[in-house]
Structure 1
Amino acid sequence: MTQPIKNVMIMGAGGLFGTEVLVALQREDVFNLSILSRKSSKSLLPPGIKVEKVDNDYPLDQLLNAFQGQDALISTLPCSSYTVHLRMIDAAIRAGVKHFIPTEYGNNTCTTAAELVTLYEAKAKIAAYLRSKEITGLTWTAIHTGQFFDWGIGSGWLDYHLEEKRVMIYDSGDKMWSTTNIGTAATAVAKVLLDTEKTKNKALTIRGFVHSIAAKGS
């Protein structure tokens, strides 16, 4: 039987999604939490949680030192430089980390979308690298949530302009699509770590609700 995950480190805990993941993990009250942060970061991190500082380019030796004793790593960092994520995976393997949750939290990069969108292409490379490293004993879980609905509405990312009572409709407007609020997505991350035996080496699809412009969702 797989030993339960206890020591968990979050990379990117000061960001939009990372802050929510931290709250979700604290809510479970079973994890020993720590944070990996760049030395130049100005993020306001919560007191009482251990913070490991590394240089901005995330050098391998510093990552290896920071990951010692960790059972699981959660990345909520941007994928603009996917080679950093690959280096983190290498360091995790060498440090004996059991489980890795990569930066996914969006549309399914296991589909042809990875061939069409540069951001998804980087994420797909990270997922493929994790699959190639299963032989080392490092397990992983990719979590696909669709777009963050609450953030997408507020930021205009989803082209809902509420103050102007205007919305951009793509295709016919009656096609159903799934989406998830940030808090729900963060809760899914925490739940994955509660039973990695069931979730290991899988791409999970999480959805808060399904809807369209013209029809009610379910």
Structure 2
Amino acid sequence: MRRFDGIALAILAALVVAAPVRAERVVRAPAPDVEAAATRKLETAVFAGGCYWGVEGVLSHVKGVHLAVSGFAGGPNSRRIDYARVSEGDTGFAESVRVTYDPKVVSYGTLLRVFFSVIADPTTLNYQGPDHGTQYRSALFPLNAGQDKTARAYLAQLSKSGLWRDPVVTKVERFTGFQDAASDHQDFMRKNPRHPYIMRWDAPKLDAFRQMFPDLYQEKPSA
């Protein structure tokens, strides 16, 4: 969905101005949240929320995030895959982002709050924005019991919140491993700020995050 020829790029560039962007909304903090373990300096979390360019681009600006890496999760990790193969939509993998963060600075629950406030629409099944297919589903991949408890409770909380007209369809999925995307897909938003796709779909999410969560925003993105 993100491979464009010259004509398509021109059309998409025009849509940057012409088409409205989904209205973001601040969701409540989750209860319960994962408590920071005094013996652990850094934690890891994995999120799938459509195109990984924007997911990585926003989460890399969250204070306490040390690293955000685009890649793939959800499929059988015994298979080696790449962007082209996952884009066929039948691998079970979803475009995902692995986040390394300091739980004493930002909690897993706070990352979830940012994710659902400005990154992913939890009511769209197997698509986000212009990207359709199971590889663009929204999903949470807990890496430990605390994350699993918080993720499941938060989805239930969001379902009862009344913030969306449609039901919440984001799922908690079993983590089977993570495979990094190719280097040209890493830090894509930072490296390509004038790319029409970034301007239309992802830059507004970063702007919304900056405005809605100023205390969480860091100007310099993590590596």
Question: Would the TM-score normalized by the shorter structure come out above 0.5?
Answer: no
TM-score (norm. length: structure 2):
0.28
The structure number with the bigger radius of gyration is: 1
- Structure showing greater relative contact order (alpha-carbon pairs closer than 8 Å, 6 or more residues apart): 2
